[in-house]
Amino acid sequence: MTPPRPTKRPGSAAPGIKLLISAAALAGTIGGWALFTLKQEAAALATTPPSLALELPPLPTLVARSSAPEVAAVGQAAAPAPALRRVSAPAFSSAPAPVTITRSSR
Burial of 28 (C-beta count, 10 Å sphere; 0-12/13-18/19+): exposed
Q: How far is CA 46 from CA 39, 42, 43, 56, in A?
A: 11, 6, 5, 19
Residues near another protein (CB under 8 A), total: 28
Query: Between residues 2 and 100, which has the closer beta carbon with respect to another protein?
Result: 100
Q: C-beta of 74: minimal distance to another protein in Å?
A: 10
Q: Does 53 bind another protein (CB under 8 A)?
A: no
Using CB under 8 A as the binding rule, whether residue 58 contacts another protein is answered as no
70 binds another protein (CB under 8 A): no
Nearest distance from residue 82's CB to another protein, in Å? Answer: 5
68 is an interface residue for another protein by CB under 8 A: no
Using the rule CB under 8 A, is 94 a contact of another protein?
A: yes
DSSP characters over 34-47: HHHHHHHHHHHHHH
Are the CB atoms for 83 and 77 separated by under 8 Å?
Answer: yes
Contact (CB, 8 A) for 93 and 85: no
In this chain, which of 13, 55, 76, 80 binds another protein, going by CB under 8 A? 76
Contacting positions for another protein (CB under 8 A):
73, 76-78, 82-88, 90-106
